[in-house]
Every structure is written in C-alpha cells, then in structure tokens.
A and B are shown apart, each in its own frame.
Chain A
Amino acid sequence: SAVISQKPSRDICQRGTSLTIQCQVDSQVTMMFWYRQQPGQSLTLIATANQGSEATYESGFVIDKFPISRPNLTFSTLTVSNMSPEDSSIYLCSVINRAGTDTQYFGPGTRLTVL
C-alpha cells in the first residue's frame, strides 16, 4: 500500500479564514479523493481530485468553498475557504493504486477546529 502523509495534522483557525491541506503520497497513484469526517460521524466524500483538471465534486460541495488541486500523480491540496465552525471536521485524503481490488488507502487526516 502507498504511504500517505497530510499536512497539517491539526489546526485551529478563526472564522472567515482559509486553510490549505496537503496530501503527499510516496508513489504515483491513479486516484485521489478528499473526505470529511465530522465528529463522531462517518465519512462523506467531498470530491475526486483529478490530475491536471478540475476536481469532481459530490452533491453539497462546491469548488468555491473547497478548491482542490492535483498537479501530479503524488500530490493534492484541499482548501477550506471562508471557514465557519460548521467546517470543524477531520479531512482525509485517500488514494487508489489500481492494485486489482481498488482498495482505498487513507491518509492520517487533518483535524480542523474553527472558532
């Protein structure tokens, strides 16, 4: 499986500001995704990060609020814009390495608290 790192691991931010989360993989991967996990809840897919093109967003998530970049096959960023306390969550990136089972492997997550 791929080794995935995320930065920052946690942050406390003020309302109205933006935070960019980085996801770095130690090898080239086919697919990268961003999920949100609100406290005590399950995971919700935000978007699929597409290399060299605009991300594909799920219902309820928009590019203006969650701009995503994926400049190459090992790196992606998610920005949480104009934050409010409702954005307090864990944000996880995941990857698929097309190993046959298409298992998604998850990064360690970024714990975001918005005051």
Chain B
Amino acid sequence: ELKVEQNPLFLSMQEGKNYTIYCNYSTTSDRLYWYRQDPGKSLESLFVLLSNGAVKQEGRLMASLDTKARLSTLHITAAVHDLSATYFCAAYAGSYQLTFGKGTKLSVIP
C-alpha cells in the first residue's frame, strides 16, 4: 500500500525567507503532484512531476522529484504572505488514483 508522508505539517516562516517542504512516499510511483488549498477552498493543481529528476518552477515555488529516493520537494524562495496556504503532495497509486500526504500548513508572517 502506497503511503505518503509530508513534513513539516506546520510551517511558520518570515517573509523573504526560503524553506523546503518534503514529501516521501513508500513504494514505487512514477508521478508526483503538488496541490495548494486555501482555507475554505478546493485544491488547485500546482505541479505535475512525471520523471526522475523532473524540476518545475512557478514564481517563488519550485518542485523536484527523485524517484530513486522516493522523495519530492517543494522549495519556497523569498516567501510572501500570498503563499500562505496548505500544500499537499500526492503520489500516483495506479489506476488513475492518488494517495495524498497530510498536507503542510504554511503561514508566512511579516
């Protein structure tokens, strides 16, 4: 059974700082997804990582995938308040199904 672990679960960071969220998964998976969820809202797709070594960047967020280590990272550069949200990673479990991590609640403070 595929399990996905994210850490940290809670992250409070100052504006302008950098930080990384980690996503480990337990068995082989060839795709990794990152989503953002704002309070009271649905999930917004951020990144899809399809192969080992894949790196994608959008604004201050950069995601990478190491399938050999079963690890994906979401790196935040020079955080701003607008990035405050909960970030979920999800690993592909086969049959078009995703297994989600518990989410990382990010608060960016002035």
Contact = CB atoms under 8 A, between A and B. Distances in A.
B7 to A, nearest CB: 13
Contacts of B98: 45, 104
Contacts, number: 46
B33 A103 contact: yes
Given A41-B102, A92-B43, A109-B42, A101 B48 contact: yes
Interface residues of B, number: 21
Nearest to A96: B96
The DSSP consensus for interface residues of chain B is strand
Contacts of A108: 41-42
Nearest to A111: B40
Interface in A16-58: 31, 33, 41-45, 48
Interface of B: 31, 33, 35, 41-43, 45, 48, 50, 88, 90, 92, 95-103
Given A42-B100, A48-B95, A108-B41, 17 more contacts: A1-B45, A33-B96, A41-B102, A42-B101, A42-B102, A43-B88, A43-B100, A45-B98, A48-B96, A48-B97, A92-B43, A102-B31, A102-B92, A103-B48, A104-B33, A104-B96, A109-B41
- Give the 4 A-B residue pairs with the shortest CB-CB distance, closest first: A106-B43, A101-B48, A43-B100, A42-B100
